[in-house]
Chains A and B, each alone.
Chain A
């Protein structure tokens, strides 16, 4: 449920980024509130991750993973809001996005100790982790080429792909027909 709620939020961020990439920042920013939309949503998602961190204490490592995502998402959203509002000026603040991607990817890979094909959840955790780690290069390149249509579209696409993976994430569902006998009764 929680994964799906955050998938919905990340999907909205991705769609906003896609719209901005398609129409261009000038058109997107003609209504002032639109410029704040996805940075504000990212910041709000970061704040909303704190309850997940504090209330899901059934294992320490999940608590730390959710805490690290809350922090980096708040940081990246806050930096983007600062740039949009004119409180921050250096484009280097956008380095918070590759940082957020790298931390998020590492946290996904570290907190999943099963191999790739153990179950769908394990597969998607590995896939999410490596997707974030590899695609950290996209926001990193955007710091120096902020107007590149390809990079901006890539940034949006990463968000949409990540949200789809989160929607598909289920603990004991089979992956490619394979499921460990330890995974128990299937949920559907």
Chain B
């Protein structure tokens, strides 16, 4: 009986392959290729026969001139000849009617004797908008809430008798953070793709997002989506089974997932980037998320949920936050030096101006935190109960400033840093 069950389950789990919707299987030139000579034709291979509309393939040079001739169907491929182009970056935009009558579209880039630009820098892409800044902020807030709530529970409340109601609220906050991270990640990926594809919404819905998924940002989106779904599952199981130890892998995983943004942003790509800038960016983001998310958890959940733990939790968080703030400052200063070659870039460049706003907000938050650390903490140690009652609102205020810092960070991430100075030629090169 048991053997028969195994056979049935195996047969169900390993079926033969079924076909899928019309999908672009491969392209020539390939996504993001650097070619040594200009291609004579562009070819798209689909998994089934498609029909084409006028202008099915457009190959745009750096000023938007279309170099592609009329497209034709060859079996399940669509082909267009291309006029010889010079050295430069090229954008291919295509449209086809798939077998099931959906109009599918896509975009990719290639370079002739230069590296291909990222697909979100394709010709016609407009760059980040205010909506993208807002979504990126939500993404930061979600991650800060997930990481901060988990970190606060595991570090600052370790070994304390945590009331069940507070335990539930902290778990719920971490779960909410993971859900917001998932939704904001999907929205951020969609907005980037929409910008690259430059299609009206109804056609964007059938747009091929795979070239965007093949970018570093796309890889980060895939890994972070899967990771945060798993974090959410772990948080749920921790709540269901009353097992705080399950929060440990959730915390470690969530902390590691923050690296997805560091490895796909400025500090991974721009001139001057190295593994050190990527690590510094991750440390900066992770420490800031722990600080702001932990503070919000303490202010909004613990202060009203477990008054008996206020004194101990506050003292522990003060020590923890001191380490986190030090990490934020060291990593942030290093990254600012790498990104801004000249001091005047701080006020003359858009990136520098946003950084100045962020620095102002961080300074404000630090002063507020210093007040808590140097004035409130000693008073609490002396047993001043009046402070304990009044300080809750002050903690909420500091959390709000922290959230404003994350908004500035979101705008900064979507801004373009000033160009790095060209390297000076060596004396040997000059002699030659």
Contacts and interface: CB of A to CB of B under 8 A. Distances in A.
Contacts of B225: 50, 53-54
Q: Give the top 3 A-B pairs by smallest Cβ distance, nearest first.
A: A8-B12, A50-B229, A4-B15
A183 to B, nearest CB: 5
Contacts, number: 122
A63 B212 CA distance: 13
Interface in B175-231: 186, 190, 193, 204-210, 212-213, 218, 221-222, 225-226, 229-230
A113 B20 CA distance: 16
19 contacts: A1-B17, A1-B18, A47-B229, A54-B222, A61-B206, A63-B209, A67-B186, A70-B229, A85-B241, A118-B101, A171-B20, A171-B21, A172-B99, A173-B19, A182-B97, A183-B99, A184-B48, A184-B49, A185-B48
B21 A62 contact: yes
Contacts of B218: 57
B100 interface: yes
B27 to A, nearest CB: 13
A114 interface: yes
Given A50-B226, A61-B206, A63-B209, A121 B13 contact: no
B250 to A, nearest CB: 13
Contacts of B125: none
Nearest to A186: B19
Interface of B: 9, 12-13, 15, 17-21, 23-24, 48-49, 51, 76, 97, 99-102, 104, 186, 190, 193, 204-210, 212-213, 218, 221-222, 225-226, 229-230, 232-233, 236, 239-241
Contact of B100 (A50, A64, A121): A121
A23 interface: no
A169 B97 CA distance: 21
Given A82-B240, A185-B49, A118 B100 contact: yes
Given A57-B212, A61-B206, 4 more contacts: A59-B208, A60-B204, A167-B15, A169-B18
A18 interface: no
Interface string A1-35: 10111011001100000000000000000000000
A64 B206 CA distance: 11
Interface size class of A (residues with CB under 8 A): 35 or more
Nearest to A167: B15
Nearest to B51: A182
Residue of A43, A55, A171 with most partner-chain B CB within 10 A: A171
B18 A60 contact: no
A58 interface: yes
Given A63-B209, A171-B100, A184-B48, A58 B21 contact: yes
